[in-house]
Structure 1
Amino acid sequence: MTRTSLNRLAAACLIGLTAPLTVVLATLATAGESQAAGPTAEELGRRVQQFYDSTKTFKASFTQTYTIKVQDVKKVSTGKVTFEKPGKMSWIYDAPNGNRVVSDGVTIKVYEKDNEQMFETPVKGSQYPAALAFLMGKGQLTKDFSLRLLDPAQMKFEGGYVLEGTPKEATPAYQKMLLYVDGQTNQVRRVLILDAQGNRNRFDFSSPVVNQPVGKTEFDFTPPPGTRVVRP
Structure 2
Amino acid sequence: MQHSFRQPARFLSLRARAAGLAVLGAALLACAPAAFASGTAQLKAFVAQVHAARGEFVQREVKAPSKAQAASGASMPTLGGTSSGTFVFARPGKFIWSYEKPYQQVLQADGENLYVYDKDLNQVTVRKLGGALGASPAAILFGSNDLEQNFTLRDAGVKQGIDWLELIPKARDTQFQRVGIGFRDGNLEAMELHDVFGNVTLLTFSNIQKNPPLKADAFKFTVPKGADVING
Fold shared by both chains (TM-score > 0.5): yes
Match of 1:109 in 2: 115
Match of 1:69 in 2: 64
Once the two structures are TM-superposed, the CA of residue 69 in structure 1 deviates from its matched residue by: 2.8
Once the two structures are TM-superposed, the CA of residue 226 in structure 1 deviates from its matched residue by: 4.4
Match of 2:144 in 1: 138
Residues 111-162 of structure 1: CA deviation (Å, up to 9, x unaligned)? 2334443322211111489213222243533332122333432xxx43x311
Match of 1:161 in 2: 163
Is 1:82 paired with 2:77? no
Question: Higher strand fraction: Structure 1 or Structure 2?
Answer: 2
Is 1:177 paired with 2:176? no
Residues 170-217 of structure 1: CA deviation (Å, up to 9, x unaligned)? 2333111111123x32x4332211111112222211121111112344
2:97 and 2:212 map into 1 onto residues whose CA distance is: 17
Q: Please say if residues 46 and 141 of structure 1, whose CA atoms lie closer than 8 Å, have aligned partners that are also in contact.
A: no
Is 1:125 paired with 2:131? yes
Q: Please say if residues 60 and 80 of structure 1, whose CA atoms lie closer than 8 Å, have aligned partners that are also in contact.
A: yes
Match of 1:192 in 2: 192
RMSD after superposition: 2.7
Q: 1:60 aligns with which of 44, 55, 59?
A: 55
Distance 1:128 1:78, change over 3 A: farther
Q: Please say if residues 47 and 144 of structure 2, whose CA atoms lie closer than 8 Å, have aligned partners that are also in contact.
A: no
Is 1:218 paired with 2:224? no
Match of 1:30 in 2: none
Indicate the SS of the match to 1:179: strand
Q: Please say if residues 147 and 164 of structure 1, whose CA atoms lie closer than 8 Å, have aligned partners that are also in contact.
A: yes
Distance 1:97 1:139, change over 3 A: farther
Q: Match for 1:50: what amino acid?
A: A
Question: Higher helix fraction: Structure 1 or Structure 2?
Answer: 1
Higher radius of gyration, 1 or 2: 1
Corresponding pairs, count: 186
Stretches of structure 1 lacking an aligned partner (at least 5 in a row): 1-37
Match of 1:209 in 2: 209
2:98 and 2:46 map into 1 onto residues whose CA distance is: 24
**Identity, % of aligned positions:** 24
Q: Please say if residues 123 and 227 of structure 2, whose CA atoms lie closer than 8 Å, have aligned partners that are also in contact.
A: yes
Q: Please say if residues 45 and 142 of structure 1, whose CA atoms lie closer than 8 Å, have aligned partners that are also in contact.
A: no
The structure whose RCO (Cα within 8 Å, separation 6+) is larger is 2
Q: Please say if residues 49 and 134 of structure 1, whose CA atoms lie closer than 8 Å, have aligned partners that are also in contact.
A: no
